[in-house]
């Protein structure tokens, strides 16, 4: 019984970690992209998040053969000018009991120059460099969805998209903003080559507000 309880606690802990963590991308101007794994609402620990080692091979969209260099707490990669998109379904292996396993896929974007989506789940500006956004899932807007905003000074507030999946944000501060959204999917699903019953889709968008 004790062993079972310990195992259950471990699985619950993994679920909490996977849902609390996010992948996000930062970029300064036309410099290289920096891909992070962690909890963006908190200050990044020196040397990176304790789970950073699980971020092994995030995939750029469109696909790229550029070398991904591991730095202290992030992965650095040279990318063309413009918005940067990343997807990763292999950070955390599926967890839970057989038949009830859960998994997570991370989607990340840096920049708000393009008012269009290219990822299965993406937070998209309604106009280039605008302050209103649409949560897009599989090409369609998602109404009544929670979208969390993290300001440059780590001020955090949640908003809800309207009937068209839009939300207008009061972006008064200067610096880097991080927007996050999560969508839960249930069914006969698969991720990283394994069957799951629940799949968490977690998207981030980062940009500099000048």
pLDDT tens digits for range 131-143: 999 999 999 999 9
For residue 11, the model assigns a pLDDT of: 46
Q: What is the mean pLDDT of residues 191-204?
A: 97
For residue 1, the model assigns a pLDDT of: 47
Bridge pairing between strands 68-70 and 102-110 = unpaired
For residue 125, the model assigns a pLDDT of: 98
Name the residue ranges covered by the structural domains of the chain. 2-209
Contact 180, 150 (CB under 8 A): yes
């Amino acid at each position: 019984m004790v062993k079972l309880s310990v195992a259950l606690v471990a699985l619950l802990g993994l679920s909490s970690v996977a849902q609390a963590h996010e992948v996000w991308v930062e970029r300064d101007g036309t410099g290289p992209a920096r891909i992070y794994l962690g909890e963006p609402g908190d200050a990044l620990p020196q040397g990176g998040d304790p789970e950073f080692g699980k971020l092994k091979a995030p995939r750029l969209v469109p696909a790229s053969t550029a070398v991904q260099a591991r730095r202290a707490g992030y992965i650095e990669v040279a990318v063309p000018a413009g918005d940067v998109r990343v997807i990763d379904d292999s950070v955390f292996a599926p967890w839970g009991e057989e038949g009830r396993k859960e998994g997570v896929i991370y989607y990340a974007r840096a920049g708000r120059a393009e008012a269009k989506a290219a990822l299965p789940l993406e937070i998209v500006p309604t106009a280039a460099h605008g302050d209103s956004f649409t949560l897009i899932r599989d090409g369609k807007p998602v109404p009544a969805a929670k979208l969390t905003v993290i300001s440059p000074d780590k001020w955090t507030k949640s908003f809800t998209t309207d009937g068209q999946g839009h939300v207008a944000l009061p972006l008064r501060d200067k610096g880097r903003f991080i927007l996050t959204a999560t969508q839960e999917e249930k069914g006969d699903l698969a991720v990283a080559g394994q069957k799951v019953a629940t799949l968490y889709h977690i998207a981030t968008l980062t940009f500099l507000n000048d």
